[in-house]
Amino acid sequence: MASPQNFASKLTALVVDDHKIYQKVHQKMLNNFGVKSHVVENGKEAVDIHWHGKKFDLILMDMDMPIMNGIEATKELRAMGVCSTIVGVTSRSTEEEILKFMEAGLDDYQEKPLTIPKLTSILHKIINSNPI
């Protein structure tokens, strides 16, 4: 299959997930759009990488992770002043859990697994809200 055009090749993304399969799948999806991506295994690593000065246009944040979960990490990143688009990606689906995650500071929430059309829509939103 022909790869999608690299319309998002100027974007960078951080995949925050402790699950190796989702790390691989989400990173491949991003790479196919030309997005440069980095992977970390939990919320603490996501916070630390920002303390070290790294910035990303998009953060795909899992909810259930060891050491620091997605809710805590999202709260910390927003408290640090991180303005990236943070999309919660989780297999949890009760309304209460989704609300708690959104209230932590997400821009969007998607149920796992992320699909190519959903990611396309997310990337288009980022590009359209930051025209060059």
Partner 1 sequence: MEVGQMQRQWMGYMKSLFMEGFLDGQFLQLQQLQDENNPEFVVEVVSLFFEDSERILKDLSFAVDQQSVDFKKIDAHVHQFKGSSASIGAQRVKNACIAFRNFCEEQNIDACRSCLQQVKQEYIHVKNKLETLLRLEQQIVAAGGSIPMMEWN
Task: Tell me the closest approach of the beta carbon of residue 41 to partner 1, in angstroms.
Answer: 14
| 20 near partner 1 (CB under 8 A) | yes
Task: Tell me the closest approach of the beta carbon of residue 90 to partner 1, in angstroms.
Answer: 9
Q: Considering only 15-23, 43-51, 72-80, 120-128, which stretch makes contact with partner 1 by CB under 8 A?
A: 15-23
Closest to 61 measured CA to CA, from 92, 35, 36: 92
| 120 near partner 1 (CB under 8 A) | no
Closer CB to partner 1, residue 28 or residue 54?
28
H, E, C per residue of the chain: CCCCCCCCCCCEEEEECCCHHHHHHHHHHHHHCCCEEEEECCHHHHHHHHHCCCCCCEEEECCCCCCCCHHHHHHHHHHCCCCCEEEEEECCCCHHHHHHHHHCCCCEEEECCCCHHHHHHHHHHHHHHCCC
- Residue ranges in 86-105 that form contacts with partner 1 under rule CB under 8 A: 91
Query: Which of 6, 9, 10, 28 forms a contact with partner 1 (CB under 8 A)?
Result: 28
- Residue ranges in 58-77 that form contacts with partner 1 under rule CB under 8 A: 64
**Using CB under 8 A as the criterion, which residues of the chain lie in contact with partner 1 when the complex forms?**
1, 3, 19-22, 24-25, 28-29, 32, 64, 91, 112-113, 115-116
